[in-house]
Structure 1
Amino acid sequence: MTTSSPRQLPLALSTAPALRREDFLGAPGNAAALALIDAFPHWSSRVVCLVGPEGAGKSHLAHIFAEQAGGSVLAAGELTRAGVPRALENGALALEDLEPGGFDEAALFHLLNLAREQHAFVLMTARTPPSTFRLATADLASRLRAVPVFMIEPADDTLLGAVLVKLFADRQLTVDEATVNYILLRMQRSVAGARRIVEALDEAALAQKRPLTRTLAAQVLRENPDLATGPDDREDDDEPDDDMS
């Protein structure tokens, strides 16, 4: 019996996510946030906040905004009072990952004040509404309660399937529809979960010098139960590897 060697796996020449406007996957759950970005600069408020779970697309939208506005992107934890003028020097700032206890309250208060004085735009992102933060600075708490919030809902199956395809494409990997559907039924139900399973599959395919198939996906999910959820249906997981003949 003879076997052919495994097909050549396309090399992941770049794993950096594509963050352009045309790369963003619109869905009912993110429609309001996407409409906000597309409406720039015609906003009713110059300071807004995108709120949603990990991996929901907040960072992608923040980068689209920064590109459109000619502004910069900064992690909330890196904001300092002395750095506020520079952060706003282009008139627009995307301030990412605002979370309780994870930023300098005085710096953020100064940022909001200076943004109002300079008529600058500030787009913040957070996992929970800033109005719910327990803060030591009463004036900052008052300012954050007044910031309009645009919610991004958890992804549904249609969006998650599209996200899987996009993430594989970002890594220059070609995966057939059957494999994508197999992963979709068994992965964690979030965009962040999709990102983790794609990363694990890419690493496994490269390490084993195998193409990315349903059989490899089954192996990775068995070996990494933290990546999986859903039906424990593996009756076809022990079939001969579909990348061999």
Structure 2
Amino acid sequence: MPEQLSFDLPVREALGRDDFFVSPANAEAVAMIEGWQGWPARKLLLIGPEDAGKTHLAHVWAVLSGARIIAARDLAGADIPALAQTHLAIEDCDSIAGDPDAEEALFHLHNLALAEGRSILMTASRPPRDWNLTLPDLASRMQGTPATILREPDDALLAAVLMKLMQDRQLSPTPNTIPYLVRRIDRSFAAAREVVAGLDALALETKSPITRHLATKLLDK
């Protein structure tokens, strides 16, 4: 068979439940998402590093619960009473620290949505104690929210993440490419995303398929 070359195709991120690989690094978080109707106080904080799958799980939960997904930074000026009428996934809550309007909006939305009997999933890259919130009442609400953690990947999860990132870019690596990358790159989600983007660019530049040889060429630069 002829080798498959790489083409400049759009990135389409797969965000369904079947696209999320479960390993010991994330099994607790997945169980919490799937068992969302049993959350204490009807809220959960999902914490994990960049590219760990927080947005993916937020979309999974939105399908399960019918929730609306909104970025925390977009809350300032939003119609808070209207938002509070549905379950909510609020992303990157730690990004609004120091923005008084966004902090105030999140505080009121949190209280109103729970009072309306809705559930709230919030995502962040760090625990609330490290957010440096300036609104004390919001800080206390966040620190009192039950949390689950997405941890850095083990080998099996890293391999699955690399494969998913390549599929999102419509890339088809040779069978020995993924195991080779797992042995060579840092065990982090950020490293996986960086190396797949690099391979995509190098494959386009050299008009080459995604192979172990191409991976070596990239990593040994």
Question: How far did residue 135 of structure 1 move?
Answer: 2.6
Partner residue, 1:144: 142
Any conservation in 2 of the 1:81–1:110 contact (CA below 8 Å)?
A: no
Q: Select which of 6, 16, 20 maps to 1:20.
A: 16
If each structure's helix is expressed as a fraction of its own residues, which one has the higher value? 2
Question: How far did residue 33 of structure 1 move?
Answer: 0.8
Structure 2: tracts of 5 or more residues without a match: none
User: What SS does the aligned partner of 2:214 have?
Assistant: helix
Question: How far did residue 154 of structure 1 move?
Answer: 0.9
Question: How far did residue 107 of structure 1 move?
Answer: 0.8
The answer to whether residue 93 in structure 2 is matched with residue 95 in structure 1 is: no
User: What SS does the aligned partner of 2:15 have?
Assistant: coil
Q: Select which of 29, 32, 36 maps to 1:36.
A: 32
Q: 1:138-181 CA deviation, whole Å, 9 max, x = no partner?
A: 22122112100111111111210121122222222221232212
Root-mean-square deviation (CA), in Å? Answer: 1.9
Any conservation in 2 of the 1:175–1:212 contact (CA below 8 Å)?
A: yes
Equivalent residue letter for 1:20: G
Any conservation in 2 of the 1:12–1:172 contact (CA below 8 Å)?
A: no
Question: How far did residue 49 of structure 1 move?
Answer: 0.3
Any conservation in 2 of the 1:201–1:212 contact (CA below 8 Å)?
A: yes
Partner residue, 2:127: 129
The TM-score, its normalising length taken from structure 1, stands at 0.81
Sequence identity, in percent? Answer: 44
Question: How far did residue 45 of structure 1 move?
Answer: 2.6
Q: 1:198 to 1:102 in 2, by over 3 A?
A: farther
Q: 1:190-217 CA deviation, whole Å, 9 max, x = no partner?
A: 1221112111111211222111111211
Q: 1:221-244 CA deviation, whole Å, 9 max, x = no partner?
A: 233xxxxxxxxxxxxxxxxxxxxx
Any conservation in 1 of the 2:6–2:200 contact (CA below 8 Å)?
A: no
Structure 1: tracts of 5 or more residues without a match: 1-5, 224-245
Instruction: Give the whole-Å Cα distance in 1 for the aligned partners of 2:109 and 2:140.
Output: 14
Any conservation in 1 of the 2:165–2:196 contact (CA below 8 Å)?
A: yes
Larger-Rg structure = 1
Instruction: Give the whole-Å Cα distance in 2 for the aligned partners of 1:135 and 1:167.
Output: 33
User: What SS does the aligned partner of 2:92 have?
Assistant: strand
